Amino acid sequence: MNEKKEKYTAVVLAAGKGTRMGGSVAKQFLEIGGKPVVVYALEVFEHSPEIDQIILVTGADKIEYCQKEIIEKYGIKKTVSVCAGGRERYESVWKALQTLKSLESEQEQKNDYVLIHDGARPFLNQEMLERLCACVKEEKACVLGMPVKDTIKLTDENGKIRESPRRDLVWQAQTPQAFAAELLFPAFEKLMQHSTEGITDDAMVVEQEMGIASVMVKGGYENIKITTPEDLLIAESFLAEK
């Protein structure tokens, strides 16, 4: 008898306004190489044998646009929902998890693993995704990232250096961040019952609420998040190399 395949859901966050970019178009919908930034990540999940379904989280006013101009236009067939996010990242993840819960009831199948990815990171690839999926099966909580190239300084509020951590121990976190559903759902349920101050990524939620530290998995230096106009120039040069 064949062992039932474990179910992986990718949550793609595309609800941000992208204020640091300037201009009126949110960074995840800006075009590079003639295609919106968010499409690149969606296509990686679409073509991945590991990923079973995709939830795209966007602004309430962008749902129709995403459905027609992103999902339908580029043939992202694994998308099971385009849902409205919140003002902060953790709210968008929470709304995606609630959507996932209601989908589980309809599908009558639970999700085993959830991957959460920034829609403004277009250069995720299948190799990174394979490493992450293999790790989350073993470790239950994993974060894609890379060791930092620069020396990092920790300062006090006045900018005075307090500590210079060992560079070989310092990683730059990327996405996707992947978690066993049995960890992620209760972690966010607990989080939503108290202060969410200082939460900047999903691994922090799982560590804070469940006491589980995530394992770093090697991503790639090209797996950048497009946040400022300079990042767009870098992204265009990565595309040109490809």
Question: pTM of the predicted model, to two decimals?
Answer: 0.94
pLDDT of 3 over the 70 cut: no
DSSP codes joined into one string, 61-80 = GGHHHIIIIIIITTT-TTEE
Longest dimension (CA), the chain: 64
CB 42 within 8 A of CB 36: no
| CA neighbours closer than 13 Å in the CB half-sphere of residue 178 | 30
Class of domain 8-241: alpha beta
| CA neighbours closer than 13 Å in the CB half-sphere of residue 54 | 30
pLDDT digits (tens, 9 = 90+) for 86-135: 999 999 999 999 999 999 888 888 999 999 999 999 999 999 999 999 99
- Residues facing residue 143 across a β-bridge: 177, 216
pLDDT recorded at residue 165? 93
Of the chain, the percentage scoring pLDDT greater than 90 comes to 77
